[in-house]
Structure 1
């Protein structure tokens, strides 16, 4: 009798975990995809006027330069304050 109860509890636990995985996996994947799409649109200058190619190019250059500056500052911080 105890063996049957253990099997039944195991099946119930597996069903709960399977349901939980089905409910949360799509949300995590959709959020990540949306975040990456938003970052790509931001750095490609998608919000700039598409008819003005110079504005799009300037937006891309400015945003990439800002990202590069942020990375350089983060590396300098780590080297100067966290490593020594």
Structure 2
């Protein structure tokens, strides 16, 4: 009996989570994208037990973002000046 109740609770929890994730009235696409970018830049996926990995990941991702932005600015200026 207890096993049946546990599986029923687990099933309800999964269904509630799916309903929450697919709710069109929930977070907007822009909100989810901004949160994803924030989590990526702050190394939310890095191992929190290793501070060197966290700071190294943050530094590397920030440096990569700045490099990409610099290349985009250079490309725009290059195209505007007429090659």
What's the TM-score once normalised by structure 2's chain length? 0.64
Deviation of 1:32 after TM superposition, in Å, equals 1.4
Q: 2:45 aligns with which of 39, 43, 47?
A: 47
1:80 lines up with 2:43 in the alignment? no
Unaligned stretches of 5+ residues in structure 1? 1-23
Which of structure 1's runs of 4+ aligned residues deviate more than 3 A?
none
The structure in which a higher percent of residues are helix is: 1
Partner residue in 2 for 1:13: none
Matches within 5 A, 1:1-84: 26=25, 30-84=28-82
CA offsets 1:25-83 (integer angstroms, 9 cap, x no match) = x46x5211111111000000011100100100000000000000000000000111234
**Pairwise CA RMSD:** 1.7
Distance 2:78 2:39 in 1: 34
Task: Name the SS for the 2:62 alignment partner.
Answer: helix
TM norm structure 1: 0.63
